[in-house]
Structures are given as C-alpha cells and as structure tokens.
Amino acid sequence: MYLAHFGLSEQPFGITPDTGFIYGSAHQSALNTLLTAYQSGAGFIKITGEVGTGKTLLCRRFLTMLDENTVAAYIPNPMQDPRALLADVAEELGAASGAQAAFTIKSINRRLLQLADAGKTALVCIDEAQTMPPLTLEAVRLLSNLETEKNKLVQIVLFGQPELDANLAAPSARQLLQRVVFHHVIAPLPQAELHAYLDHRMQVAGYRGASLFEPAAVRLLHRCSGGTPRLVNILAHKALLAAYGAGQHQITPTLIRRAAADTQGARPIRWWWRLAS
C-alpha cells in the first residue's frame, strides 16, 4: 500500500466511523444540538442526513462524550419487529426481556426507575432509524411514555436518512413526530472546508509534510463528491493509490478524475470543470 510512500502510520481515508479522525467543524453544529437537547432532558431528538454524511460517526462521538452518570443503549440495526427491538433496548440498559412486549416494557420501566433513583440518566440512540417498520416506531413512542411527574425516564435519539422524515410524517406516526423536541440536518462539507478536512485526516494518520492535495484537485474532489464525507474519503483513498502507483507525491486533478471514473456514486466529470480547475 501507499503508507510508507507518504510516511503514514495508518490509512487516512477509511470509511469506517473511526472517532480518532473526527474533524471538528464537520459535525460541531449537530453535536451542539445533541448536547443541548441531552442536557435539557428532551424526550426525543432527531438527527438526519444523506447517505455518507457521518451520522454513525456523530452518534459514536456523542456517546464518548457522556459521563458516568449516563447509561446508554446503542441500537445499530432497528429494522426489527417491536418485541425484538424492545429486547435489545432492555439488554443494553440491563433490564430483563420476555416473550411479550408488554412484559419487556414493564421491565425497562422498573430499570429506568432504578437508574433515576441512583441519579443516572438513561439514553437510547437508534442508528439507521429510517429502517424501522411502523409498528416498531410505535414501540419507540411507547418507550417515550416512561416518565415521572416531572421528568422523562429515558431520552431517545433517532439518527436516520431523510426517509425518516417521510416515515414520521405518516398519520400513524404523528404522535411520535409531535414529541421530537430537537431536530438537526447534517449538511455536506462546504468546499471552503474540504482542504482543511483532507489535511486533518492526513495529519492524524501520521503525515508531516506540506499539503498533498493541489487546490485544483480539492475543488474537483468537492465537485465529484458533493462534499459527502464518505465519497470524499473513497475518492481521496483512490487518488493516493494512483499517486503511489505513479511514483508521485502530489494529488492532482488528473488523479481525482481517475478516482471518480472508478467510483460509483461520484458525480460525472463535466467538461467545463476541466477549464475551471
């Protein structure tokens, strides 16, 4: 691979949600919304964003920032029937589950009361929330009913693609939608920040030289990726591979074009982009 060629200790542009590579400003607004909502005791929080904008990474970053007084349940795959989802939540929170959903909800309620008595906060983070069937969404709403006279016993954060908004707009989900107190949409990286994003990931991976990415290459990379972090990472990784294969130490527009031509989902190269770059 190209690690030794560029003096790297690890790959800088992986597509797994590695919190060690988090670029601060990319998710700061969404993170601020999460922290504000969490600290205020909001019952429901919704974070949406297109495919590849870093929702899972944001979720993991948020979870790492919680203190020891929070007991968190992380549900990465909610495309389940209500009983199965509730069983997963129960297991994560340290409650018992049973064959009937009603039993599991009662068990979760008892556990939440125990946590509240101990001065702890319960949190459920559901990733890929747009995949939940309607009945499972209703089960999540029932979880939000667990409360005392003054406080919610559990806070729930839904992370999902824009399809989640459509699901919540259905008449059957209107009660849940009305309970969403905070909502944030993750936007793609703006072009003005892309160069800093690329340099940041290179430095975290051990690179210590001058910026590898020529300004024209960065502009073209943004056009081809639309600023979507996952696509940016895929294209940058392929460009580094191509540079290594050619014995080059700079990422040029030509290398970005080659990477885009080899990547499904990348925007097609327009002829006038060549003139602009």
Cβ-contact 134, 173 below 8 angstroms = yes
Res. 152 pLDDT band, cuts 50 70 90: confident
- Show the tokens assigned to 178: 């009305």
Predicted pLDDT at 179: 87
Predicted pLDDT at 88: 95
Q: What's the mean per-residue pLDDT of the chain? A: 91
In this predicted structure, the answer to whether residue 98 has a pLDDT above a threshold of 90 is: no
Beta bridge pairs of residue 74: 125
Cβ-contact 53, 23 below 8 angstroms = no
Spell out the domain ranges in the chain. 3-9+190-276, 41-186
Res. 172 pLDDT band, cuts 50 70 90: confident
Q: From start to end of the chain, where are the E strands?
A: 44-49, 70-75, 121-126, 154-160, 180-186
| DSSP-assigned letter for residue 213 | B
Percent of the chain with pLDDT over 90: 72
Percent of the chain with pLDDT over 70: 97
Which fold is adopted by the domain 3-9+190-276? Helicase, Ruva Protein; domain 3 (1.10.8)
72 Cβ partners below 8 Å, 6+ apart? 63, 66, 92, 122, 123, 124, 125
Question: How many CB atoms are located within 10 Å of the residue 181 CB?
Answer: 15
Spell out the CATH class of 41-186. alpha beta
pLDDT in tens, 222-262: 999 999 999 999 999 999 999 999 999 999 999 999 999 99
| DSSP-assigned letter for residue 171 | G
Q: Give this prediction's pTM.
A: 0.89
In this predicted structure, the answer to whether residue 143 has a pLDDT above a threshold of 90 is: no
Res. 42 pLDDT band, cuts 50 70 90: confident
Which residue is listed with tokens 């029932």?
142
User: Fold identical between 3-9+190-276 and 41-186?
Assistant: no
- With H, G, I as helix, E, B as strand and everything else as coil, classify residue 185: strand
- Residue 56 φ/ψ region, left for φ over 0, alpha for ψ in the -120 to 50 degree band, beta for the rest: alpha
Predicted pLDDT at 145: 82
CB burial of residue 150 (10 Å; 0-12, 13-18, 19+): exposed
Can you tell me the mean pLDDT for 130-150?
87
Res. 274 pLDDT band, cuts 50 70 90: low
In this predicted structure, the answer to whether residue 208 has a pLDDT above a threshold of 80 is: yes
Res. 77 pLDDT band, cuts 50 70 90: very high
- Show the tokens assigned to 144: 């939000």
Cβ-contact 76, 131 below 8 angstroms = no
Report d(CA 218, CA 208) in Å as an integer: 19
